[in-house]
Amino acid sequence: MLKQNGSTDTLSDREITIARVFNAPRELVFKAWTEPKHIVQWWGPAGFTTHVTELDLRPGGRWRYVMVGPDGTEYPVKGIFREIVPPERVVTSDEFDEGFEQAINADLPQGIVMTGMFEELDGKTKLTLQILHATADDRRKHEEMGVVAGWNSSFDCLDEFLAKQVAHQQDDLTVTLPSNREIVVTRVFHAPRQLVFKAWTQPEHVKRWFGGCKSSMTMTVCKIDLRVGGIWRYVLHDSSNGTEHGFSGEYREIVPPERLVTTERYEPFPNSDHLNTLTLTEYDGKTTLHIHIQHQSREQRDGHLQSSMEVGLRETLNRLEELLKSIA
C-alpha cells in the first residue's frame, strides 16, 4: 500500500495487536466471540450495550452490530467474514457503518481487516486480536479514536462474562436464541415434574426461590391466582438501594403438571410485555424444564439478555433445585 508521498508502509506500520489470556477453555471463548446470545452480553467498552442485527457465520457471510453508548448514541459497525476455522481463527473485514462518522465527528479509517486468533494454554485461552489497516495513516486515525483502550475495556467485559460462564457450567442450564425475538431456556431438575410444577405455582414455595442474583433481594409480594385469566405478581425489594422490582402477568393456559402459558411484564418498563411458555417433561425421575420466551421485537429481546437475565436465572433456578431437595 503506497503512502501519498510514495513511500511504502510496512506491515508493522499498519497493524495494531492486542492480546489477552482468559481463564476459560478455547471452545467457550470462541463461542463468546461468534454467538449472538453471548456477544450482546460483553461486546463494546464498559457502559455500552450492543445489538446484533446480523450475523451469518460463514466465509462471505455478513455481520452487523450496533453499539449503544451510555447517552444513547448508536455506533454501527459491520463486516464480511473472510475465514473461519473453529475454534482457532476468525478473519473479517471491519467497517464503520452509516451514522458512525456523524456520531463521533471524525475522519474514519478505511480498509480494516480484523483477525481473532484463539490459542489454548493448559485450559486457558490466549486471544490475539490483529487489526490490519490499509495505510499507516488509517492506523493512526484508529489509534486516535481510542481503539486500544476500547478493546481493552471490551476484553475486561469479556473476562467478566467468561468467568460467570465457567462458574455455572455444571448446572445444566442452556440458553438459545431460535430467532430474533425468542429466547429458549432449558434446565434439568432431579425431581419429578409434579413437584417442580408445585414449587413453580404455590406462593409458599415461590417465595423461597424466586429472585435476582443479589443477596440483598427479598420477595415482598407473591400473588398467584392460578386460573386462566388469573393474575400473578411478584415484587423484589433490594435493601442495598431501596429499589423495588415488580413482575406481573396473566395466566393464558394451565395444564398441570405439564404446561403453563403466561404473559410477563417487568413493571418499571411498561412496554416489556412478553409471552412465556413453560413445559415440564419427566423421564426416569428427572424433569426437564423448558421455557420459551417470545418478545415483541429484537430490541426487546436483546435488552432482556443484556439485563443480566442469564446470570440471574441461573442463580434463581439453582435455588429452585435446592428447594426441591428439601420438599421432596
pLDDT at position 169 is: 60
pLDDT band at 311 (very low <50, low <70, confident <90, very high): confident
- pLDDT computed for residue 214 by the predictor: 54
Cell 428447594 locates to 323
Mean pLDDT of the 173-183 span: 91
Closest to 92 measured CA to CA, from 75, 108, 111: 111
Domain with CATH 3.30.530.20 in the chain: 11-167, 171-327
CATH number, domain 171-327: 3.30.530.20
Q: Is 217 strand, coil or helix?
A: strand
Please tell me the class of the 11-167 domain.
alpha beta
What would the mean pLDDT of 82-110 be, rounded to a whole number?
Answer: 91
Give the integer Cα–Cα distance in Å for 21 and 157.
13
Alpha carbon distance 133, 138 (integer Å): 6
pLDDT at 2 over 70: no
What local confidence, expressed as pLDDT, does residue 307 receive? 83
Task: Using the predicted structure, report yes or no on whether residue 215 has a pLDDT greater than 80.
Answer: no
Q: What is the pLDDT of residues 227-283, one digit of tens each?
A: 999 999 999 988 878 889 999 999 999 999 999 999 999 999 888 899 999 999 998
- Give me the mean pLDDT over the 82-105 stretch: 92
Return phi, psi of residue 115, to 5°. -120, 120
Give the C-alpha separation, 316 to 209, whole Å: 6
User: What's the pLDDT score for residue 173?
Assistant: 85
Confidence grade of residue 284 (pLDDT, cut at 50, 70, 90): confident
What is the pTM assigned to this prediction? 0.59
Grid cell listed for 251: 395466566
pLDDT tens-digit map of 48-58:
999 999 999 99
**Residues 313, 184: Cα–Cα separation, whole Å:** 12
209 vs 202: CA distance, rounded Å: 11
- Residue 9 — pLDDT band, cuts 50, 70, 90? low
Q: What is the mean pLDDT of the chain?
A: 90
- pLDDT band of residue 3 (cuts 50, 70, 90) is very low
User: 49-63, 121-135, 210-224: which has the minimum mean pLDDT?
Assistant: 210-224
The whole-angstrom separation of Cα 83 and Cα 80 is 9
